[in-house]
Structure 1
Amino acid sequence: MRSRPICALLVLLALFPLRPFAALADVSFQDACGHTLSFASTPSRVVSLYGSFAEAWLLAGGELVGVTQDALTERGLSLGEQVQIVGTVKEPNLEAVIALDPDFVVLSADIASHAPAAELLRQMGIPCALFRVDTFDDYLEMFAVFCELTGREDCYAQYGEAVAAQIDAVRAAVQDMPARRVLLLRAYSSGVKAKRADNLAGAILQDLGCDNIADRNEHLLEELSLEAIVSEDPEFIFVTVMGSDEDAALAFLDERFGADPAWQGLTAVREGRLLLLPKELFHYKPNARWGESYAYLAEILFPECL
């Protein structure tokens, strides 16, 4: 049943023979998986297999020839007719990618299908890099690479340095405030999990000096215990939603805990501080809007400071 796509890839291998990586030159960097790439000139046929990174490449002044569907459905990017859709973020169409004859392919180290995709592309001599962005510093590091490749220092100043200044201003405003006790949850249509500082929202909460009870209660990550939550009594509970059905995810959370008097007695719930975080700032990578993400949380946590 799998022979047809394999045969098609072999045909494409014949049509686009192996080519060497660009010679050591002006821009050299290492991706999140330790692979070193070098470019002598700005890549002009770039394919991004993750919508957030496609947006970041455009912000850096680059151009695209291919993207995955999420660049349109989740990021809402305005792309010309010449830009091809090459599958979905979790199931990129490698035949379509290869057919575009790219000189640089951008992938995510956090998506399971991207590592083997990158390996195939490398075997074909197609330069590709896997990036991991969980914090603003991660974004800034990736964006610096993109702007080096495009030669656009002005873009780095506008969408990198200026955003860093926004974040520094927020940090400075709240640095003397006492730590807020918080719980970060990620809700699905069929489950809910506590999250720590190894994700976007958790990293920002930590950077703002919050005490996320999941960071010091390992068992909460394995099993979301209402008893453990009650014993900590968080002042704020923040919820991010995974998946496209937000209503179903919130319904699951309500069914799991909503009717329990212990849940209703939590300070965060009782005082109206059980809060849903907007996807565009806390689920999708915010890119040039990282400053907004910081300010959004800081205004909730420390309204007297901002």
Structure 2
Amino acid sequence: MKKTLRSLPRLLFLLVILCIVLAGCGSNNKPAQSGTIGPEFIKNETESTITITDPLGNEVTLPKNPQRVVSLYASYLDLWYEAGGKAIASVSSASLPEGVEDLGSMSQISPEKILALKPDLMILTSSMESQVALKDILEENKIPYLFVKYDLYQDYIDNLELMSRLNGTQEQVDPKVKEIEDKINATIDGVKGKTAPKVLIMFTTSKAISCEVSKGTTGNMVELLGGTNIVKDIPVEGETRVDFSMESIAAGDPDMILIKTMGDVEACKALVKKELESNEAWAAMRAVKEGKVYYLDKELFLNKPNERFPEAFETLAGYLYPDK
């Protein structure tokens, strides 16, 4: 009798474990999976869906393997295709894949045009109010939507992982991501220990000039490469650029100036010449006197570089550390 009583706790323990195992086998739910922890915004994954907390704070459940995808942001369409997906329509882009309907400019998209396409997934940017305003219409029509926030290099990695899971292509995409990360880490390691340059990142159109902070795509890359961005202030949460001030940048006296252009490059250069090159404070800055003012490749630094991130990092490293 004593021997039987002593065996009871062990028997009960084994029964509890067996129940847990059987319960797990009977459920389609499983935790979000990745090579390691995975993006924090992924909350749950089943065989047919992924639940995330999107950049707007909404908890949304997205269908896997959508067939009628519409993207309202060109860089995100490129990212979707990089993750093995396909789309039926998108906004105008020089790299629009064959067979994808051209919806024209982002500012010309009407809700009626979107609904007529009968999408089973919409990809939008959380940084444009006009696209955020579509949320209620999409919900009313039961159209799943994915708002994407993508400013930093890590955002690229995280969103690519999410999209590869949605497309069921994670096994094919993960090795490519590792190769990209390895190349970038090699570039970062290659400049460790070098004197960190002070950098000014300017953003110009044909009509206005501003400065990019470290929360911008290029600012983040400069920071990861050990550079010091002389523009620190972020007046509004989520903003990546601040108003241009000759006094503040002259006081920072950068070692080099990197200029991003949007629109006609020659028109942007004309504005810089008109507004800056005649200013004594501009001419007195070390970067200007030493000829270290560089216009950046739009394909790598205005648009999201996506799979070309290694090339973008290597290009920046060449500017920051010319003796590399």
- Do Structure 1 and Structure 2 share a fold, with TM-score over 0.5? yes
Pairwise CA RMSD of aligned residues?
Answer: 2.1
Q: Is the CA contact 1:86–1:93 (under 8 Å) kept in the aligned structure 2?
A: no
Q: Quickly say closer, same or farther: Cα 1:156–1:222, change in 2 above 3 A.
A: closer
Q: Is the CA contact 1:91–1:113 (under 8 Å) kept in the aligned structure 2?
A: no
- The equivalent of 2:321 in structure 1 is 302
Farther-moved stretch of structure 1 (92-101 vs 247-256): 92-101
The whole-number CA distance in structure 2 between the counterparts of 1:59 and 1:32 is 21
The whole-number CA distance in structure 1 between the counterparts of 2:80 and 2:106 is 16
1:241 Cα deviation after fit: 1.1
- The equivalent of 1:225 in structure 2 is 245
Match of 2:283 among 264, 268, 288: 264
**Correspondence 1:114 to 2:135:** no
1:159 Cα deviation after fit: 4.1
- In the superposition, the TM-score normalised over structure 1's length comes to 0.83
Q: Is the CA contact 1:50–1:107 (under 8 Å) kept in the aligned structure 2?
A: yes
Match of 1:89 among 103, 106, 111: 106
The whole-number CA distance in structure 2 between the counterparts of 1:86 and 1:117 is 16
1:154 Cα deviation after fit: 4.0
1:257 Cα deviation after fit: 1.3
Farther-moved stretch of structure 1 (166-175 vs 138-147): 166-175
- The equivalent of 2:18 in structure 1 is none
Match of 2:261 among 217, 230, 241: 241
Farther-moved stretch of structure 1 (252-261 vs 101-110): 252-261
| Equivalent AA in structure 2 for residue 248 of structure 1 | A
- The equivalent of 2:300 in structure 1 is 281
Q: Deviations over 1:206-252 (max 9, x none)?
A: 1112111111697xx7653333323221110011112x222212111
| Equivalent AA in structure 1 for residue 143 of structure 2 | I
What SS does the corresponding residue of 1:161 show, helix, strand or coil? helix
The whole-number CA distance in structure 2 between the counterparts of 1:230 and 1:67 is 42
Q: Is the CA contact 1:45–1:65 (under 8 Å) kept in the aligned structure 2?
A: yes
Structural mapping, 1:1-306, within 5 Å:
25-39=48-62, 41-69=64-92, 72-73=93-94, 76-80=95-99, 83-215=100-232, 223-242=243-262, 244-305=263-324
Structure number with greater CO (CA < 8 Å, separation at least 6) is 1
- The equivalent of 1:17 in structure 2 is none
1:137 Cα deviation after fit: 0.7
How much identity, in percent, do the aligned residues show? 27
- In the superposition, the TM-score normalised over structure 2's length comes to 0.79
Q: Deviations over 1:45-64 (max 9, x none)?
A: 10001011111111111111
**Count of residues in Structure 1 that have an aligned counterpart in Structure 2:** 274
- The equivalent of 2:24 in structure 1 is none
Q: Deviations over 1:72-113 (max 9, x none)?
A: 23xx23322xx2222322332322221111110000011221
**Structure 1 portions without partners, runs of 5+:** 1-22
| Equivalent AA in structure 2 for residue 152 of structure 1 | T
The whole-number CA distance in structure 2 between the counterparts of 1:28 and 1:216 is 35
- The equivalent of 2:38 in structure 1 is none
Q: Deviations over 1:91-145 (max 9, x none)?
A: 3232222111111000001122110112211221100011010111111111111
Q: Quickly say closer, same or farther: Cα 1:287–1:43, change in 2 above 3 A.
A: same
| Equivalent AA in structure 1 for residue 178 of structure 2 | E
Q: Quickly say closer, same or farther: Cα 1:35–1:91, change in 2 above 3 A.
A: farther
1:40 Cα deviation after fit: 5.1
Q: Quickly say closer, same or farther: Cα 1:26–1:303, change in 2 above 3 A.
A: same
Greater Cα radius of gyration, structure 1 or 2: 2
Q: Quickly say closer, same or farther: Cα 1:31–1:159, change in 2 above 3 A.
A: farther
What SS does the corresponding residue of 1:254 show, helix, strand or coil? helix
